[in-house]
Amino acid sequence: MNCPTCGHDKSRRQKKKTGGLFPNLNANHRQCTKCGRKWTRYEKNPKLLYFDIETAPIRIEADVWNIWEPRIRPEHVKEDWFVLGWAAKWVCTSYMFSYALRPSEAKNCNDKRILKPLWDLFNEADIIIGHNSDRFDVKRMNWRWMIHGYNPPKPYRQVDTLKEIKKIAAPTSAALDFIAKHAGLNGKMKHRHNLFKECKAGNRDALIELKKYNEVDVIEGEAVYLWARPWMKTHPNTGLYFQDDKSHCRNCGSLDLDYDRDHPVVTAANSYECWTCKICGANGRTTISTRYDGGVEYETKEERQERAADNRIKRENLMR
């Protein structure tokens, strides 16, 4: 069983006495041998899906007056684009899903068969991740699903690594191949010159090569996401998906946090305790204020309410 935090495939059974009415749950407690994360298969973990699609080119027939500023009108489109294939995998796991059209489907521009599995994955995922997925992949898949009569997928959060990297850095190029190579990865797989044109014509070998090319894109894109995740300031809070009252890293969900009480995070209204994730390296802050009498990490609901009432009285006294 893979670790929900770091994806390590080796874990050991955690000897924990649960007692009560369900002593058999002891066998379901696992601990990762790499990061030390403890979990059970009954608890809710966020499902992060990285995906990428490959589309066919648009065939256009038009008479133009010059080659510099062609005016392409909708009636000039003879064959619209469609999905040639897609690949997806759960982040930090070895589960890879990939589909490509058959030669007969590619010739007939029919991508209906391969759309249903990806729609099912979208319904199961909590967070959808991709490179330039906000402008391209997600919207294109939505258009094809609308054409074939699908309902919208269940609500999900979205992470576009292209947007997130541009928010925090200024790379020379935002292309996935450029970023992957600077992150110490191999980059995208090289393919033949007319690969997409041959795929659209129904070349079986080209479709097999396209499927492999798409899978490599997903593997490299997932590695880029994990490489840039500690820097992401607007990453969805993965800690909200865990059904417990413990403090989790907002970026990766880890419980292994290093609290720094000497350097609080100061905002316009209050100050908070700072923490650093020991697994992914992200920084964050607690929800407990240090401006007044701060609470402890695992205080009860009654203690939290009592502390809030005391702080309210102190604020009122300061305002008089």
Query: Is 262 in a helix, a strand, or coil?
Result: strand
Domains present along the chain, CATH in parentheses: 48-61+74-230 (3.30.420.10), 255-319 (no CATH)
Q: Measured between alpha carbons, how far is 169 from 229 in angstroms, rounded to an integer? A: 13
DSSP lists the bridge partners of residue 258 as: 276
- How far, in Å, are 130, 162, 223, 232, 238 from residue 167 at the CA level? 16, 9, 19, 8, 20
Taking only the tens place, the pLDDT of each residue in 284-306 is 888 777 765 555 555 676 777 77
List the structure tokens of 282: 């992200």
Residue indicated by tokens 């290093």 = 258
Stated as kind and residue range, the H or E segment containing 87 is: strand 83-90
Q: Which of 16-30, 159-173, 234-248 comes out lowest in average pLDDT?
A: 16-30
Looking at mean pLDDT, say which of 11-15, 65-69, 163-167, 193-197 comes out highest.
Answer: 163-167
Beta carbons of 253 and 236 less than 8 angstroms apart:
no
